[in-house]
Amino acid sequence: MSVLASSRSGKPRVGLFVTCLVDLMRPSVGFAAVKLLEDAGCTVEAPVQTCCGQPAYNSGDRGTTRDLAMRIIETFQEFDYVVSPSGSCAGMIRKHYPELFEEDPNWRAKASALAAKTFELTSFLVDVLGVTQVDATYHGAVTYHDSCSGLRELGVRTQPRLLLSSVRGLTLVEMNDSDVCCGFGGTFAVKYSDISGSIVDAKARNVEAAGAPTLLAGDLGCLMNMAGKLSRGGKPVQVRHVAEVLANMTDEPAIGLPREAALKQDQP
Amino acid sequence: MTVHTTSPQFKQNAARALHDPQLQKALNNVKQGFIDKRQAAADKLPEFEALRDSARDIKNHTLEHLDLYLEAYEQKVKASGGHVHFARNADEAREIILSICREAGARTVTKGKSMISEEIGINHYLEANGIKPVETDLGEYIIQLRNELPSHIIAPAVHLNATQVEQDFRRVHTHLDAKRDLSEPVQLLTEARAVLRERFLAADVGITGANFLVAETGTSIIVTNEGNGDLTQILPRTHIVLASIEKLVPTLEDASQLLRVLARSATGQEMSVYTTFSTGPRRSGDADGPENYHVVLIDNGRSAMLGTSFEEMLRCIRCGACMNHCPVYHAVGGHAYGWVYPGPMGAVLTPSLIGVDKAGHLPNASTFCGRCESVCPVRIPLPKLMRHWREREFERHLTPASVRSGLSLWSFFAKRPALYRLATRAAMATLGFAGRRRGRFSWLPLAKGWTKHRDFPAPQGETFQARWQRERKGGTA
C-alpha cells in the first residue's frame, strides 16, 4: 500500500507520468523532472505507461479515451502522487478524468481519487512540497510561455516563475501575450495547419521582440511548435522545457538543434 | 430556412482570410482594443467574479423555468397593450413581421442592431416584398451597404477600415457633393448621421432586438452606444421587438445584474451609453412612443437545446468577449465561420441551429486554449461544449476518415504497452538518427500539415522508458 510504503521511508512516493511527447521526443525532460522530484525529497518511479487519452478525448472518441484512462488509473493509483512535466496531460487527469465516468460510480471514484493527487511538475514542487528554490545555474535572459491547459485548468503561472527566480545567472524577461495560445492545440496544428501557422507566427514575433535568447515553457507540445516555427524563420532562440533549466540539466542540445556537436557549423 | 451558410467551406474561408492583408490589419484592432479594456473594467470592480457567478445562476434559473417566464412575460406585455407573437422558426418569424409591416402600411423600416434579425434573414425578405429595411447602427449600416453579414456580434464592421467605408459612402450617397472631404472618421460619422436622420423620420415601422426581456414587467431592454435604438423604437408608429426565447430574465433586478457584466465584458464600459427600457405602446400622457407595440418571440432551434448538453449555451448574453479573446478568431475573423455567429460562441451555437453536418468544422477549429471560458460573463464552458460536438460528430461518423484512422492506429498501440514500447523505440531511434545532424526536419512523410509552417524537431533518439529501464530498472514491467 502506498501509504505504508511512503510512511516507512518518510518520503512521498511519486509516480512520474512522463507523457507521450517527453517519452518519445525528449526523454531528458523526464530525467530533469526525476532529478527535481528526488532533490525535493521524493521517491520517484516511472511505471510502464502509454497515453493519457487526450488526443482521443479531443477528437470526440470517448470510448477509446475511457479505455486509456482506465489503464492510467490502474497503473498510477498506488502512488501517493502522480506528477507530470506537462500542464496539458496533468490537466487531462485532474480535470477531465472524473467527467469521463459520470455514469459509472465505481470508476468515477477511482478517477476522482487519482485526479486529486495528480499535479503538474512546477505546481507540485511549489504548491505541494513548498519548494521555493532550486540548485541551478543558467546564464542569460529567458522568456516564459504560459501553456494554456496549465495556466487555465491548473492555475500554473507563478510557480515556474518563482523557481526560475532562484536560478543563478538567470533573468526572466516577460514577452507580450505570454498567456496567449501558441496555436499548437494537439491535432489542431495538423488539421487546421494554416490557422495554427498564423497563431504560432504571432507567438514567434512576441518571443523575438522580448529579446531573450532562450524560450522556456512547461509543455513539450507547445515547445516543439514554437521551436519549429522559430527555426523555420531562422531565429536563433534556444527552446527548452523549464524543467531542464530548473534541474540544471542543459547539456543536451536545445529543442530542434543538432545532436552531433561536431556538425554544428553546418547550421545556418 | 435561415440565411445562407458557407460554414462547410470553413477551411477555404480561413485560407482566404489569412491571405487578406487588409483584414489581418483590421483584426489587430480586435486584439488590441477589447482585451485590455475588459480587463481594466473587471479589475476596477471587486465583485466582478461574484457577479459572473450570479449572472450564470440567473440565466440557469430562467432556463429551468423558461415556460413559466415566457407566459408571465406574455401576460405583462398584453396587459400593457402590446402584442406577443410566437414563431417556431425563421419562416414563421418573417411572415409575422411582414404581416405587421403590411398592416402598418410600411414602405420603410428602420432597424436597431439585432443578431436574431440576421439569423432569420429579415432584410432580404422585406426587400423582396417591397419594404425597404434601413440599418441604423453605424456598423450595420455599413455592412448593409456592402451586402455583407456582420463579422462580429457587437462590432459588425470590425473587418473594415475607414477607406473602404469612404468608398461605400461615395458609391451610395450619390445625392451629396462628389468633392466632399471624407478623409477623417468623424466626417464619415457626420455623413451617416445626416443620412440616417431622414430615414428615422420617414420610417413607418421600427424593429429592434432585445438584450433582455423582463418577465415581471413585460419590458424589453436594449443597450446601444449610438442612441439609434431609441430613435428606431420611438419615432415610428409601430415598434417590433425581435427576440429569441432565451433572452428572458425574471425581474428588473436580475436584468440590472446582467447589465453590470454585459458592457464590462463587451467593451470594458461600465454601462453602454444608452440602456433603453420599453414596455408596451405609448400611454395617454406619454411624450413619445409607438402606437403599436409587437414582440416576436423566436425559437428557431433553442427549445431543442433545452435539457441537452448544449443548454448552457442558452445563457449567452452576446457580449462578444469570447471572440475578442480567441486566437482563432484573431487569425481568421468572423466571416470565415460562414454563418451569423462567429468565434467560440458561434462554434457551439451554429451546429445547434443549422446542423453539425454543415457546421462541423467550427467546433473542431479550436485549440481548446480556454481563454473564451475564462472571460465569459455567464461562465459557459465553451471548450467542453465544442468537445461535445466533436463527440456527436465522431458518433455519427462525420469525423474525417484520416483523423479516425490515425486515431485508431494510435490507440491500437497505446492500449498495448509492450508493443508500444517496441514500436516507439524503433521509430524514435530511426528519427533520432536521421535528424542528428540538423536537429530538425523541414519535411516528413505524413506530417505535411505540420511541416508546411514549421520544422519538426528531431527526437533525442532513445525513449524515456527505454532509458529508464536501462538505467534505473524502476519500471514494474
What does the pLDDT average to over A1-8?
A: 47
Least confident of A3-12, B15-24, B300-309: A3-12
Question: Residue A119: beta bridge partners?
Answer: A83
Kindly report the nearest CA distance between residue B315 and chain A, in angstroms.
21
Question: CA B272 to CA B266: how far, in whole Å?
Answer: 9
ipTM metric = 0.94
User: Mean pLDDT lowest for which of A41-45, B87-91, B352-356, B415-419?
Assistant: B415-419
Mean pLDDT for A53-66 is: 96
* SS3 at position A143: strand
Q: List pLDDT tens digits, range B211-258.
A: 999 999 999 999 999 999 999 999 999 999 999 999 999 999 999 999
Cα distances (Å, whole numbers) of residue B347 to A188, B151, B241, B344, B442: 15, 14, 26, 5, 33
**Average pLDDT across chain A, whole number:** 94
Q: Going along A57-200, which residue ranges are E strands?
A: 81-84, 118-120, 137-144, 168-172
- What mean pLDDT is predicted for residues B385-389? 98
How does residue B123 score in pLDDT terms, banded at 50, 70 and 90? very high
Minimum CA–CA partner of A46 in chain B: B475
pLDDT of amino acid B34: 95
Chain pair A-B, CB pairs under 8 angstroms: 235
CB atoms A60 and B457 under 8 Å: no
> Same topology for domains A2-126 and A130-266, yes or no?
yes
Contacts of A195 in chain B (CB under 8 A): 14, 18, 328, 331-332, 365
Q: Give the model confidence (pLDDT) of B332-352 as tens digits.
A: 999 999 999 999 999 999 999
Greatest CA separation found in chain A? 59
CA dihedral B139, B142, B148, B149 (to 10 degrees): 20
CATH of domain A2-126: 3.40.50
Name the closest residue on chain A to residue B11, using Cα atoms: A192
Residue spans per domain, chain B: 45-303, 417-471
- Name the residue among B390, B392, B464 with its Cβ closest to that of A23: B464
Integer Cα distance of B101 and B111 in angstroms: 13
Supply the pLDDT for residue A95: 97
| Residue A267 confidence (pLDDT) | 44
Grid cell at residue B393: 460528430
Please list every residue in chain A whose beta carbon sits closer than 8 Å to the beta carbon of residue B374.
152
With CA atoms as reference, the chain B residue closest to A223 would be B457
Q: What is the 3-state secondary structure (H, E, C) of B351-391?
A: HHHHCHHHHCHHHHCCCCCCHHHHHCCCCCCHHHHHHHHHH
Q: Domain A130-266 falls in which CATH fold? A: Rossmann fold (3.40.50)
Query: Tell me, what's the pLDDT at A118?
Result: 98
Contacts of B394 in chain A (CB under 8 A): 59-62
Per the CB < 8 A criterion, the answer to whether A257 and B434 are in contact is no
Q: Using the beta-carbon criterion (under 8 Å), do A199 and B327 form an inter-chain contact?
A: yes
> Taking CB atoms and an 8 Å limit, are B399 and A231 in contact across chains?
no
- Predicted confidence at residue B2, as pLDDT, reads 58
pLDDT for the residue numbered B1:
46
In this prediction, residue B363 has a pLDDT band, given cuts at 50, 70 and 90, of very high
Q: Give the best residue of A196, A201, A205 to mutate against chain B (max B CB count within 10 A).
A: A196
Instruction: Using CB atoms, pick whichever of B455, B462, B477 lies closest to residue A228.
Output: B455
Chain B residues within an 8 Å CB radius of A79: none
Residue B8: what pLDDT? Answer: 95
User: Is residue A223 scored above 60 in pLDDT?
Assistant: yes
Cβ count near B109 (within 10 Å): 27
Average pLDDT over residues A219-245: 97
Query: For B252-296, how does the pLDDT look when each residue is reduced to its tens digit (9 = 90+)?
Result: 999 999 999 999 999 999 999 999 999 999 999 999 999 999 999
CB contact (8 A) between residue A180 and residue B371: yes
Show residues of chain A in contact with B464, CB under 8 Å: 18, 22-24, 27, 30-31, 46
Look at residue A5 and tell me whether its pLDDT is greater than 80. no
CB B334 within 8 A of CB B14: no
Q: Is the pLDDT of residue A2 over 70?
A: no
* Minimum distance, in Å, between the CA of residue B46 and any CA atom of chain A: 20
Query: What integer is the mean pLDDT of A108-120?
Result: 98
Interface test with B, best of A14, A22, A24 (most B CBs within 10 A): A24
pLDDT by residue (tens digit) across B58-113? 999 999 999 999 999 999 999 999 999 999 999 999 999 999 999 999 999 999 99
* B329-338: burial string, b at 16+ Cβ within 10 Å, e else: bbbbbbbbbb
pLDDT at B7: 95
Lowest-confidence segment of B150-164, B354-368, B404-418 by average pLDDT: B404-418
Out of B394, B415, B440, closest to residue A59 by CB: B394
- According to CATH, what is the number of the domain B45-303? 3.40.50.10420
Contact B339, B5 (CB under 8 A): yes
In B, which residues are within 8 Å of A191 by CB distance? 364, 400, 403, 449
**Structure confidence by residue, pLDDT tens digits, B36-63:** 999 999 999 999 999 999 999 999 999 9
- Compute the nearest-CA separation of B15 from chain A (Å): 7
Q: Which of A148, A188, A196 sits opposite B370 (nearest CB)?
A: A148
Range in A68-72, A150-154, A208-212, B420-424 with the lowest mean pLDDT: B420-424
**DSSP for residue A126:** I
Q: Residue A8's pLDDT is what?
A: 57
Query: What is the pLDDT at residue B445?
Result: 80
pLDDT at position B4 is 85
Q: Is the pLDDT of residue A76 over 80?
A: yes
Residues of chain B neighbouring A61 (CB-CB closer than 8 A): 391, 394, 407, 411
Higher pLDDT pick, B399 / A233: A233
Contact B245, B191 (CB under 8 A): no
Q: Is the pLDDT of residue B447 over 70?
A: yes
Contact between B452 and A27 using a beta-carbon 8 Å cutoff: no
Domain boundaries, chain A: 2-126, 130-266
Amino acid B335: pLDDT: 97
| Span A126-153, average pLDDT | 98
How much is the average pLDDT of B161-179?
A: 96
Can you give the pTM of this predicted structure? Answer: 0.95
